[in-house]
């Protein structure tokens, strides 16, 4: 029996021989995709006749098309520069709904609390969750609290589930990317992951970097108002970062993606932190930006509308969807060469969200 070493998770581990869950299985990268495809989906749905375990799912309720999404949050520390686990949980779920073109209507909040957590910390993050939900305009309608003995959890885990209703005309899908589409990022990348890591490791960046955690539903609503069905694909690059998400989208649509490194909005402080930490900003988690594939004829108008909103003020055109090679993401570097942009392999930043 091989007991996994977190460092080994940086190399791909053949699934059949792993035997145990690795940190990398929760990374949002290749091992996560493998666990989902090879174990979770076949176990939950042996007949393969149901939609299982997408980030968010469309369900029909007596004629109403609803969207539902769930997420567990295990971020450490639970309070970090720019936010906390409560606000993050609300924003994360609101954003998963938004990426399906849905506006949130109700949230649930489920807590697993470690015995001994100071009540003041619990109060702080719940107030923050409540304020985040109020700012979004979505009620938290139901919840659950379990307490486990000391040492059986690490402070607090939060699971949020959201139900929303699709905006008319919103038809974004992972499979709708087409050659010629404009690839857009709604703001600077790498802030959430580097903020968490610098706070956790006491690297001294924490006064300069703050998480970008924020809700994106209004941005999406505006994009759909202006672009309609020209908004082909939406996704927030959280775990695994921009690189992992673009690889998933390229794979899903059978297209390629070509990025332009010069156009990527990487703040200097993120670049500096990534150099110290040995990270690629394209693999670092974000919690307040989205990637979009836009039909070229409407792209300019959508980008202009995005830039009018605070949360889209930093919107940048960062590349294009291409025909070949399908499933691949490449990047024209600052030096003019071209490199392959891979999914995150293993686990770069455990407990980032």
Quick one: DSSP state of residue 37? I
Which one among 8, 34, 72, 226 touches its own copies, defined by CB under 8 A?
A: 72
Q: Which residue, 157 or 205, is less far from its own copies as judged by CB?
A: 157
Q: At 77, is the secondary structure helix, strand, or coil? A: coil
**Contacting its own copies within 108-137 (CB under 8 A):** 108-120, 122-123, 126-127, 129-130, 133-134
Q: Which residue, 2 or 310, is less far from its own copies as judged by CB?
A: 2
Q: Do 248 and 33 contact (CB within 8 A), yes or no?
A: yes
Instruction: Give yes or no for residue 57 binding its own copies (CB under 8 A).
Output: yes
**Contacting its own copies within 143-182 (CB under 8 A):** 143-149, 151-154, 157, 159, 161, 163, 165
Q: What is the dihedral of CA 217, 218, 220, 226, to 10 degrees?
A: 160
**Contacting its own copies within 282-341 (CB under 8 A):** none
**Contacting its own copies within 75-114 (CB under 8 A):** 76, 105-106, 108-114
Which one among 7, 141, 313, 334 touches its own copies, defined by CB under 8 A?
A: 141
Instruction: Give yes or no for residue 53 binding its own copies (CB under 8 A).
Output: yes
**Contacting its own copies within 13-32 (CB under 8 A):** 18-27, 32
Which one among 7, 12, 37, 44 touches its own copies, defined by CB under 8 A?
A: 44
CB hemisphere CA count around 351 (13 angstroms): 20
Q: Binding-site residue total for its own copies (CB under 8 A)?
A: 92
SS3 sequence of 174-215: CCCCCCCCEEEECCCCCHHHHHHHHHHHCCCCCCCCCCCCCC
Instruction: Give yes or no for residue 263 binding its own copies (CB under 8 A).
Output: no
Q: Which residue, 303 or 352, is less far from its own copies as judged by CB?
A: 352
Q: Other CB atoms closer than 10 Å to residue 159's CB: what's the count? A: 18
Least Cβ distance, residue 281 to its own copies (angstroms) = 22
Instruction: Give yes or no for residue 245 binding its own copies (CB under 8 A).
Output: no
Q: At what angle do helices 296-307 and 217-227 cross, to 10 degrees?
A: 140
Instruction: Give yes or no for residue 73 binding its own copies (CB under 8 A).
Output: yes
Q: At 224, is the secondary structure helix, strand, or coil? A: helix
Q: At 225, is the secondary structure helix, strand, or coil? A: helix
Q: In whole angstroms, what is the distance from residue 174 CA to residue 86 CA? A: 28
Q: Which residue, 107 or 294, is less far from its own copies as judged by CB?
A: 107
């Amino acid at each position: 029996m091989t007991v996994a070493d977190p460092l080994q998770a940086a190399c791909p581990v053949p699934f059949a021989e792993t035997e145990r869950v690795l940190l990398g299985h929760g990374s949002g990268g290749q091992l996560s995709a493998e666990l989902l495809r090879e174990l979770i989906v076949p176990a939950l749905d042996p007949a393969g006749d149901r939609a299982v375990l997408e980030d968010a799912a469309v369900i029909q309720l007596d004629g109403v098309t609803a969207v539902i999404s769930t997420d567990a949050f295990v971020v450490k520390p639970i309070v970090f520069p720019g936010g906390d686990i409560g606000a993050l949980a609300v924003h994360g779920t609101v954003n998963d709904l938004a990426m399906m073109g849905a506006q949130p209507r109700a949230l649930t909040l489920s807590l697993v609390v470690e015995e001994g957590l100071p009540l003041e910390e619990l109060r702080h993050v719940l107030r923050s969750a409540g304020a985040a939900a109020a700012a979004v305009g979505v009620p938290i309608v139901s919840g659950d609290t379990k307490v486990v003995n000391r040492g059986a959890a690490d402070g607090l885990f939060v699971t949020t589930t959201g139900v929303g209703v699709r905006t008319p005309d919103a038809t974004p899908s992972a499979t709708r990317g087409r050659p010629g589409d404009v690839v857009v990022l709604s703001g600077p990348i790498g802030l959430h992951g580097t903020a968490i890591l610098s706070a956790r490791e006491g690297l001294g960046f924490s006064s300069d970097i703050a998480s970008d955690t924020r809700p994106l539903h209004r941005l999406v609503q505006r994009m759909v108002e202006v672009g309609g069905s020209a908004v082909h694909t939406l996704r927030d690059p959280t775990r695994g970062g921009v690189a992992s998400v673009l690889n998933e989208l390229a794979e899903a649509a059978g297209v390629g993606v070509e990025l332009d490194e010069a156009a990527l909005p990487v703040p200097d402080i993120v670049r500096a932190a990534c150099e110290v930490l040995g990270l690629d900003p394209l693999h670092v988690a974000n919690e307040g930006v989205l990637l979009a594939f836009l039909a070229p004829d409407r792209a300019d108008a959508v980008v202009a509308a995005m830039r009018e909103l605070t949360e889209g003020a930093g919107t940048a055109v960062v590349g294009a969807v291409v025909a070949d090679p399908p499933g691949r993401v490449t990047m024209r570097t600052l030096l003019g060469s071209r490199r392959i942009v891979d999914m995150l392999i293993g686990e770069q930043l455990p407990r980032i969200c």
